[in-house]
Amino acid sequence: MSVKIQTAGKLERYEKIRSFLLKPGFNGFTKEDLFIMSIIKKGWGHDIAALSNMAEALVNLSITNPHKTNEYWLLLNEVVNRALHPKVRPYKKNIDQVNNLGKYGYYLEHLNIILGAYKRMGLDKKYDQLNERVSLHLLENSMSYTNYHADLLPNVKMKWSADQAAIRAAVSSKCCRRSLISVPSRRPFASSTALSAMATANRAPFSGSPS
């Protein structure tokens, strides 16, 4: 009986996500989409975090149900589109037109998880370059501090190991790591040594200092 209830719950959640992603005219999340927006208008980044959760779930579903990969692929494309939408991204311009990705580690870590999920499903290479660019930026920013924690937001010193763990997970995935290994030597931080250093630093609960 409990298995049937769990299955029904999963199907209900999937249909809710599917309905959200297939709804036309996306113009940012609303309080109907995210509970926190009924309290805080901008949602504190819960929008990009929700999208990264959706992306990971869709990849897992594609592994479990390969016969439905095309459906999941369609939905994952919508996840990426929403992640890059002006109402979700922190940049005024399209990310491809942004020269410096800046200190938006929280947004970028979740975007990178989404791009990694897209690459892992592997039906095309549309976002491979962006995935590598974001990974390198996060690695460089992380390795510029002695505690190996990237900036999460401009003008905010607080850094959390949970976010750095997400950054490390995204840049050390098999798909992304193959690209980072071939990076020229002028980027020595893009290495297994750098990732190991970040892993050690992640044991600290948080860092209130930028250095």
**Sorting pLDDT into bands at 50, 70 and 90, what band is 168?**
confident
Q: ∠ CA(35), CA(80), CA(36), 5° rounding?
A: 10
Distance CA 78, CA 18 (A): 10
The pLDDT value given to residue 148: 84
Q: What is the CA radius of gyration of the chain?
A: 18
Quick one: average pLDDT of 164-187? 60
The pLDDT value given to residue 196: 55
The pLDDT value given to residue 161: 82
Of the two residues 39 and 172, the one the predictor is more confident about is 39
Neighbouring residues of 4: CB distance < 8 A, sequence distance ≥ 6:
none
Q: Is the pLDDT of residue 102 over 60?
A: yes
Q: What phi, psi does 28 have (nearest 5°)?
A: 100, 160
The terminus-to-terminus CA distance of the chain in angstroms comes to 53
Question: What digits encode the pLDDT tens for the residues 56-99?
Answer: 999 999 999 999 999 999 999 999 999 999 999 999 999 999 99
Distance CA 108, CA 73 (A): 21
DSSP-derived 3-state class of residue 104: coil
